[in-house]
C-alpha cells in the first residue's frame, strides 16, 4: 500500500478530476490524502479521502476563498487578473503550510497539479517522488499551439507560428506579473516551461484533443477523461419533469457561475424551441433575474453526468472537465468560453468538428439561438461526436492514470510514454472533415 498526497489549486475544475483519480487509487487499496482549504475539505469528505488543512481559519485562507468566489462574476482581462491573484495566494499558502502538513500526514509520493509549482520545494526537501497532473488543459509552450487564453484557430504555417510565438512571449510575462511572481519567488507557469520535473506528466486529455504538436516530453501521457461515474449521485433532481423532447443541458460551470447576463440570454434563446432545457447555475450564490420560458428548468445544482447521458446538446463555458464529459458521451457542444484555458478548449472542440464557439462577450440570445439551431439541425455534429467518442480508450482515464502513478511510485523511476508521443491530431474517423 502506498500513501499518496494530492495538491492542486482550490478550484472545482482542478479538484474534481484529481479527486476522481484519488478515488481510483483508494479503490486499489492505497491511502490517499488531499491537502487544501475549505473547498478541498468538502470534496475530500464527499469522496472519502483523507484531508490535511492548509492555512486553517487564517487571513490568507480567507483571502483565497474570497478571491475565487469573486472570480465567478468576471470575464476577460479582469478574470485573468483575478486568477493571477488567486495563484499568488495559493503559492504563498503552499510555501508556508505544506511542509508542516507533510509532517502531519507523511506520504510516499505526491501528485501535483501543473499549476501548483509552489509545492515543489517541500517535495524536494523531503526527496519525495512526485508526478505532475494536468487537470485543466495541458499546457506546453510552443509556436505550433496558440496560447489557450486566446480564441485563435490552429494554423500550421509560418505566419501562424510567428503569431503564436509573439503571443506566448506577451502573455507569459503578463501572467507572471498578475500572479506577483517576484514577491512569491515561484512562477505559476514554472511547470509549463520546465517539463523535466516529475516521474511522469499525466493529462486527462486524449491525444486527439490537442492540436498537432511535436515537443511533448518523453514522460508525458495522454489518457482519457477523469471522472467518477457516481460523482453526482447525491444531487437531487426532479426527473419526473423531463419528457420526450430533445434535452439541452446548459451550464457555465462552478467557477464563472455568476454570469447572469449569459444565463438570461441562454434562457431567452430557448423560448419557443421544441426542446427541454436544464439550466444549471453551478451553485451560484446569486439568483438569476429572469422569467424563464416554460421549456427551461433553472436549478442551482444539477447531476451533470446523468443529464449529459440524456442530452442532445450541451451549452457550456468550455471548461475541460465538461468538454471531456461531453466527448465521453458523444454530446455536441455550443461553447461560450469566458477566460483562462476555456477559449483554447473551445477551439479544440470546434477543430474536431463536434461543436461551435461563440465569445461570451458576444453571447446575445439571438446568436446563441442561431448556433443551437445550427448544431441541432445538422446531423453531422452528432455523427462526428460519436466518431470522436469511439476513439477513446476502452479503459477509463482514471484507470490509465492510476497505472502510471503506481508504476512511478513503486519503481521510483521515470515512466515513459508507451508511444513516442507523435504529433496528435483529429481522430482517424474525422480525417475527411
Is the same domain home to 405 and 380? no
Is the same domain home to 353 and 248? yes
**Tens digit of pLDDT for each residue in 160-218?**
999 999 998 888 888 778 777 777 888 877 887 788 899 999 999 999 999 887 678 89
Please give the pLDDT value at position 69.
Answer: 77
C-alpha cell of residue 422: 507523435
Q: How far is the C-alpha of 192 from the C-alpha of 190, rounded, in Å? A: 5
Asked whether residue 231 is domain-assigned, the answer is no
Q: How far is the C-alpha of 413 from the C-alpha of 418, rounded, in Å? A: 15
Q: How far is the C-alpha of 96 from the C-alpha of 74, rounded, in Å? A: 29
CA 196 to chain centre: 23
Nearest Cα residue to 356 out of 326, 325, 315, 390: 315
Nearest Cα residue to 288 out of 15, 16, 73: 73
Please give the pLDDT value at position 49.
Answer: 95
**Is 0.85 surpassed by the pTM of this model?**
yes
Within 58-189, strands assigned E span: 109-113, 130-134
Residue 31 structural domain: 3-225+394-430
CATH at 294: 3.40.50.2000
CA distances, 293 to each of 12, 118, 121, 206, 270 (Å): 30, 47, 54, 38, 8
Angle between the N-to-C axes of helices 12-27 and 320-328, in degrees from 0 to 180, rounded to the nearest 10: 50
Within 184-339, strands assigned E span: 201-203, 220-222, 247-251, 276-280, 296-299, 311-316, 333-335
**Tens digit of pLDDT for each residue in 309-350?**
999 999 999 999 999 999 999 999 999 998 889 999 999 999
Asked whether residue 45 is domain-assigned, the answer is yes
In 3-state terms, what secondary structure has residue 384? helix
For the segment 353-371, the average pLDDT, to the nearest whole number, is 95
Please give the pLDDT value at position 256.
Answer: 58
Q: Residue 428 pLDDT > 50, yes or no?
A: no
Is the same domain home to 410 and 285? no
CA distances, 22 to each of 2, 17, 38, 408 (Å): 12, 9, 18, 15
Continuous segment of H or E residues that includes residue 250? strand 247-251
Domain count, the chain: 2
Q: How far is the C-alpha of 400 from the C-alpha of 17, rounded, in Å? A: 13
Q: How far is the C-alpha of 346 from the C-alpha of 163, rounded, in Å? A: 19
Nearest Cα residue to 35 out of 95, 124, 125: 95
Is the same domain home to 376 and 334? yes
Asked whether residue 233 is domain-assigned, the answer is no
For the segment 33-44, the average pLDDT, to the nearest whole number, is 89
Please give the pLDDT value at position 84.
Answer: 83
Cβ(175)–Cβ(86) below 8 Å: no
Q: What is the average pLDDT score of the chain?
A: 88
Is the same domain home to 131 and 251? no
Residue 376: φ, ψ to 5°: -70, -30
Asked whether residue 372 is domain-assigned, the answer is yes
Is the same domain home to 385 and 398? no
Asked whether residue 266 is domain-assigned, the answer is yes
Continuous segment of H or E residues that includes residue 194? none
Amino acid at each position: 500500500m502506498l500513501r499518496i498526497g494530492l495538491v492542486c489549486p482550490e478550484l472545482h475544475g482542478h479538484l474534481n478530476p484529481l479527486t476522481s483519480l484519488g478515488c481510483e487509487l483508494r479503490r486499489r487499496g492505497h491511502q490517499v490524502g488531499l491537502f487544501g482549504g475549505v473547498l478541498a475539505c468538502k470534496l475530500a469528505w464527499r469522496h472519502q479521502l483523507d484531508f490535511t488543512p492548509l492555512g486553517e481559519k487564517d487571513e490568507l485562507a480567507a483571502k483565497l476563498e474570497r478571491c475565487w468566489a469573486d472570480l465567478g462574476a468576471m470575464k476577460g482581462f479582469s478574470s485573468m487578473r483575478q486568477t493571477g491573484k488567486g495563484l499568488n495566494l495559493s503559492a504563498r499558502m503552499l510555501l508556508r503550510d505544506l511542509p508542516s502538513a507533510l509532517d502531519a500526514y507523511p506520504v510516499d509520493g505526491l501528485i501535483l497539479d501543473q499549476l501548483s509549482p509552489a509545492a515543489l520545494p517541500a517535495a524536494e526537501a523531503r526527496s519525495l517522488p512526485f508526478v505532475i497532473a494536468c487537470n485543466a488543459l495541458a499546457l506546453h509552450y510552443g509556436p505550433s499551439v496558440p496560447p489557450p487564453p486566446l480564441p485563435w484557430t490552429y494554423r500550421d504555417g509560418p505566419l501562424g507560428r510567428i503569431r503564436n510565438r509573439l503571443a506566448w512571449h506577451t502573455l507569459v510575462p503578463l501572467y507572471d506579473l498578475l500572479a506577483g511572481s517576484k514577491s512569491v519567488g515561484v512562477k505559476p507557469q514554472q511547470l509549463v516551461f520546465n517539463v523535466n520535473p516529475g516521474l511522469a506528466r499525466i493529462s486527462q486529455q486524449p491525444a486527439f484533443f490537442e492540436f498537432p504538436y511535436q515537443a511533448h516530453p518523453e514522460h508525458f501521457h495522454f489518457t482519457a477523461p477523469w471522472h467518477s461515474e457516481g460523482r453526482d449521485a447525491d444531487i437531487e433532481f426532479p426527473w419526473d419533469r423531463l419528457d420526450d423532447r430533445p434535452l439541452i443541458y446548459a451550464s457555465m460551470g462552478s467557477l464563472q457561475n455568476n454570469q447572469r447576463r449569459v444565463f438570461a440570454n441562454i434562457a431567452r434563446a430557448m423560448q419557443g424551441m421544441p426542446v427541454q432545457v436544464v439550466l444549471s447555475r453551478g451553485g451560484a450564490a446569486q439568483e438569476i433575474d429572469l422569467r424563464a420560458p416554460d421549456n427551461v428548468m433553472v436549478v442551482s445544482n444539477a447531476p451533470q453526468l446523468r443529464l449529459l447521458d440524456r442530452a442532445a446538446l450541451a451549452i457550456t463555458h468550455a471548461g475541460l472537465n465538461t468538454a471531456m464529459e461531453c466527448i465521453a458521451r458523444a454530446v455536441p457542444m455550443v461553447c461560450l468560453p469566458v477566460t483562462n484555458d476555456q477559449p483554447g478548449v473551445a477551439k479544440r472542440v470546434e477543430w474536431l468538428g463536434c461543436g461551435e464557439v461563440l465569445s461570451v462577450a458576444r453571447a446575445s440570445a439571438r446568436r446563441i439561438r442561431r448556433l443551437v439551431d445550427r448544431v441541432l439541425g445538422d446531423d453531422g455534429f452528432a455523427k462526428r461526436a460519436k466518431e470522436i467518442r469511439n476513439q477513446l480508450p476502452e479503459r477509463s482515464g482514471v484507470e490509465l492514470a492510476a497505472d502510471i502513478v503506481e508504476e512511478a511510485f513503486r519503481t521510483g523511476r521515470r515512466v515513459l510514454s508507451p508511444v513516442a508521443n507523435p504529433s496528435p491530431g483529429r481522430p482517424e474517423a474525422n480525417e475527411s472533415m
